[in-house]
Amino acid sequence: MSSSATSPPESSESVTRKSSKKKRPWRYYNILLHRYQGYLFLGTTVVYAISGLAVNHMEDWNPNYSQQRQTQTLAPLADPENLTPAEGAALYSAFGIGQSFNPENVFYPDEHLIDILIASDEKIRINTQTWQAEHERTVRRPVLHLFNFLHLNNAKKAWTLYADIYAIALLLMALSGLLMKSGRKGVWGEAGLWTLAGMVVPLGLILLYYR
Amino acid sequence: MKNWMIASALGLALSGSMLGGSALADTVFGKRPALKDVVKISALLDQPEQYLNKEIKVEGIATDVCSMRGCWMKIQSDRKKESLLIKVNDGEMVFPMSARGKNTVIQGKLVKRTIPVNEVIELEKARAEKAGKKFDPASVKGPRTVYMFKPSGVVIAD
C-alpha cells in the first residue's frame, strides 16, 4: 500500500500553518531572544542596578555596613596598657554592653590609642590624650551587602563566569532591542535616532572628564 | 507547566554552578602564601629599604579592616604600638570585616609611597579635628614617606 493511501490528506489549514511556521522572519526570533533573556536575567539586573546606585555614592556613605557610634568621656585609667577587670567592666557598663569584660583582643595602634576588640564587628577606641572613648558597632546591610558582593564580583570563581554570561546577555538584549523596530526604515529611522540621542550625554561627559 | 519546569531547571543549574565551592576553614585571597620564612613586622619596619620590592611573608592579627571597599587591613606588629598597612587596589582582594581579630598570613612586597605635602596637611588636619585639637599647617615640614604591603596572597585563619 502506498503511504498516500494510509495517511489522511492534509487540510489546506494545516498546510498554511506549516508553511507559515517555516517562513517566520528573523525579527520573530529576535523578539523571542529579547523577551526570554529579559525574563531570565531580570533578577540579576535588579541586583546590578540597585548595587550600582549604592556604590556610585560611596564617597557619601558606606554601602556595605552601617556603623553605630557613641562616645563617652572616661576617667583616666591608672595604667592604660594593663586594663583591670574592674576598669573593663566599668567601660562596658558605660556603653551598655551587657556582657562580662572578655575582649577578643586589645591593640595599641599608636602612642595614644587603645583599641578594645569586643568582637570582629564591635570595638571601643580610647584616646589616652583626651580620654574620649568611642564604641563602634558595624552592622552588615542585609540586602545591599549581598548585592554589592555580587555586583563587585567579590566572590570571583564561578561568579566571574556567570557575570560574563550576564554581560553578553546584556549586549544581546541591547542589540536585539535596537533591531526590534520594524517598518521601512527600521534601525535607520526612529530607533537609530533614539540610540544616537542616548549617546549624547555620555559623549559630552567623556569630553568633559576624560584625560 | 512544562515552561515552569524548564525555567526552574535552568535556574537551579545556574545557582548550583555558582554555589559549588565548599566552605573552607581558612579564607584565601589570591595565591596561598608559599614562602617558608616569616619576616617579623618589627624587623620590616626597622629596615624597610632592605625589604623593598622583595617577595616576603609576614604574619599578624588583623586589627582593622576598610569597611567601605575592603581594600586595606592593618596587621598588628610583634612590637606594641605598631602596625603594618596591607593595601590592595580596589577590587583586587576584598578583605571582610570579619577578619578583625583573626590571624593573617600574607605574602607580597613592601612598597614605598611618598605623600605630597598638601595631602599630609589634609591628613593631619582631619586627625587634629577628630582629636579636638588645633592644627597648624606650618607644622608639616614636607612630604611624608610611608611603607605599605602589597599582597599577592592572604590567608585569614578562622
pLDDT tens for each residue of A5-21: 445 555 555 555 555 56
- Domain for residue A201, yes or no? no
The verdict on A56 and A73 lying in the same domain is: no
The verdict on A136 and A154 lying in the same domain is: no
The verdict on A122 and A78 lying in the same domain is: yes
Nine cell digits for residue B144: 611624608
The verdict on A70 and A172 lying in the same domain is: no
Partners of residue B144 on adjacent β-strands = B115
Q: What's the whole-number average pLDDT of chain B?
A: 87
Report ipTM (2 d.p.): 0.74
Nearest CA-CA partner of A88 in A108, A105, A71 = A105
B32-41 pLDDT, tens digit each: 999 999 999 9
Residue of A nearest to B17 (CA): A158
**Interface list for chain A against chain B, based on CB atoms closer than 8 Å:** 39-40, 58, 62-65, 67, 81, 104-105, 107-111, 115, 117, 119-121, 123, 127, 129-130, 132, 138, 140, 152-155, 157-159, 161-162
Distance CA A152, CA A95 (A): 35
The verdict on A100 and A55 lying in the same domain is: no
Structure confidence at residue B21 (pLDDT): 45
**A92: containing domain:** 65-140
Non-local CB neighbours of A124 within 8 Å, separated by 6+ positions = A91, A95, A115, A116, A118, A133, A134, A135, A136
- Assign a CATH topology to domain B25-113+145-156: OB fold (Dihydrolipoamide Acetyltransferase, E2P) (2.40.50)
What percent of chain A clears pLDDT 90, i.e. is strictly above it? 70
B35-66 pLDDT, tens digit each: 999 999 999 999 999 999 999 999 999 999 99
What percent of chain B clears pLDDT 70, i.e. is strictly above it? 85
Mutate to test the interface with A, among B17, B66, B69, B78 (most CBs of A within 10 A): B69
B82-105 pLDDT, tens digit each: 999 999 998 899 999 999 999 999
Structure confidence at residue B127 (pLDDT): 82
